[in-house]
Structure 1
C-alpha cells in the first residue's frame, strides 16, 4: 500500500492509502465506476465485472458482494440516509434500488428501453434531496436531469444539449447539497452547474476539465474529480479551497465517510480504490 504521500487541501491534510481494500487471493478489481459509503462506514464499490457490488468494512475487509446477473453496465451509486443502495445501470437505462443485503427494493426506468428526452437514455448518476426526491443525471443518450418523488413517481425534467445555462453536454454526475442545491457535473462543458430543487439555474463553476463526479460533506464542502486527473475541494460558495493529485489516471467516482475520509474509484489501467485518510481538522 502506498502510504508515504500526504496531500493538502486548504487546512486539511490527508494520507494517501493506495490501493485500499483487501480482496481474497486470486481476486482483483474489475473496471471501477463509482463508490459510496453508508451510515455504518461500509464502503460500496460499483464495478463493471462480477460481482458488480463489493462491500468493505471500514477497515478495508471485503465482507459481502451482490448483483451478479442484475446489471448490464455499472455507472453511478448513491446511499440514502436510511442505507438504501441506489445503483445506475447505464446501458440498461435503469435505476435499481437495493437493500444492503442486495435484495431489490424498486426500479426506475424501462429496462433496455431507451427514451428520448425522457427517463432514461444511458443515465449516469443519482442523488437524493433532503425532501426525499431523487435527481438523476441522464447524460450519454439524453442531456437531462430528471426528478422523481420519494414515492418513485416521475415529477419533471430539465435540460437539453448545449453549452448555455441549464444546457448540458454529458451530464455525468449529480449531487444535492445541504442548501438544497442540485449540482451537476456538466462534463464536456468543463463545468459544474447549480440549480434549485425545481431545476431553476443558479450559477456555474467553470474551473474544471471534464468533471467526473461530485461529493459533498456535512460541512458543505464540495469535492469534484476531473480528468486532469485531480481532486478539487470547493466551498459552498464556489471558492477553490485546495487541489491535489492523489491518483495517477483519474477517479471516476468519489465518496466519503462520517470521519472525513474520502474514497476514490480510480479507473483503468490501475482499477483500484484510493482512500484519502484525514489526518487533522
Structure 2
C-alpha cells in the first residue's frame, strides 16, 4: 500500500495500520456477522443469511493467518448465525440466535455438543446473542433479544445460575449483545440499547456500570485484562475494569457487529455494512 493512502488509528499509545478488506471468502456467503481468532493463529469468520428467504449456506469460514480460505461449514445445521467464539481447547462455539441454541464444533466442523433446546424459545435461551468462557471450563451466554439475562453454566454444560431482567437499572438489560470475561471470572456485558457496558461477578453481583458508549455491539478482553468495546458511533474504545478510558479510535466505517483479537495482537473486525472482514495491525515503534 502506498504510504500516502495508508490509514492508521491510535488507541491510547498504540498505533495500528488498517487493512480493509482482509481475507478471501467464497462468493455469496451472506453478511459478515462475527469473527474469532484461534489459538493456532487461524481465523474463524461467521456469516449469516435471513433464514426466511435464503437457502442454507455455510456460515463458518476458516482462514489462515494470511487470509486464505481453508474450509467452510454449517449449512443445514446453523439457521441464524449471530456470534462465534473459540475456547482454549480450540472448540468453535456458534450462537444460533433464532434457533435458541449454542452449537459447538471442532476446527474441522465436526459437531461436539449443543446447549439449549433447538427451536424451543425459553428452554433456556430466548434469542441468545454471544458466549464467553470461565476459568474453570464453564461458560456464559448472553440472552439476548428477548431474554434480557446472562446464563452461567458449569464445565459440563450444567446450568449454574441466571441473572438480569428487562429494564434500565443496574443489573438490567434491554439487549445484552456481547460478552467477555476478565480475571477472577468477572463478566463484561455490552448492554447495547442501554448504551453501556456492565461488569458482574459470576454470581450476578453488579461490579461496574460504564455509560460512555453509543449502542455497544461487542466486547473483548486482552491478555493484560483490559477491555475493548466497539460501538455504533463508531468508536473502538479501550477501558480498564474501573471504566477509565485508555484510548479511543475509529477503525471502521459503521462499527463492527463483532470483533476479536488475533494471535499476534491484531484486532479483527467483523463489519456488516459494508460486509467485510478488516484487521488492525499493531505498528511497533
Q: Which whole-Å CA distance do the structure 2 matches of 1:207 and 1:179 have between them?
A: 24
Structure 2 residue ranges without an equivalent (≥5): 50-56
- 1:184 deviates by 0.6
Residue 213, structure 1, aligned to residue 218, structure 2: yes
Paired position in structure 2 for 1:69: 76
CA RMSD of aligned residues (A): 1.5
Q: Please tell me whether the aligned partners of residues 178 and 218 of structure 1 are also in contact (alpha carbons under 8 angstroms).
A: no
Scaled by the length of structure 2, the TM-score of the pair is 0.93
Residue 47, structure 1, aligned to residue 47, structure 2: yes
Scaled by the length of structure 1, the TM-score of the pair is 0.95
Which portions of structure 1, spanning 4 or more consecutive aligned residues, are displaced by more than 6 angstroms? none
Q: Which whole-Å CA distance do the structure 1 matches of 2:202 and 2:173 have between them?
A: 17
User: What is the aligned residue count?
Assistant: 276
Paired position in structure 1 for 2:200: 195
Paired position in structure 2 for 1:17: 19
Q: Which whole-Å CA distance do the structure 1 matches of 2:213 and 2:148 have between them?
A: 19
| Pairing of 1:237-252 with structure 2 (within 5 A) | 237-252=242-257
Q: Which whole-Å CA distance do the structure 1 matches of 2:183 and 2:14 have between them?
A: 21
Residue 78, structure 1, aligned to residue 82, structure 2: no
Structure 1 residue ranges without an equivalent (≥5): none
Q: Which whole-Å CA distance do the structure 2 matches of 1:13 and 1:29 have between them?
A: 32
Q: Deviations over 1:122-177 (max 9, x none)?
A: 00000001111110000101100001111011111000001111111100011111
SS at match of 1:188: helix
Match of 2:282 among 275, 278, 281: 278
Q: Which whole-Å CA distance do the structure 1 matches of 2:131 and 2:80 have between them?
A: 15
Residue 149, structure 1, aligned to residue 154, structure 2: yes
Residue 131, structure 1, aligned to residue 136, structure 2: yes
Q: Please tell me whether the aligned partners of residues 29 and 271 of structure 1 are also in contact (alpha carbons under 8 angstroms).
A: no
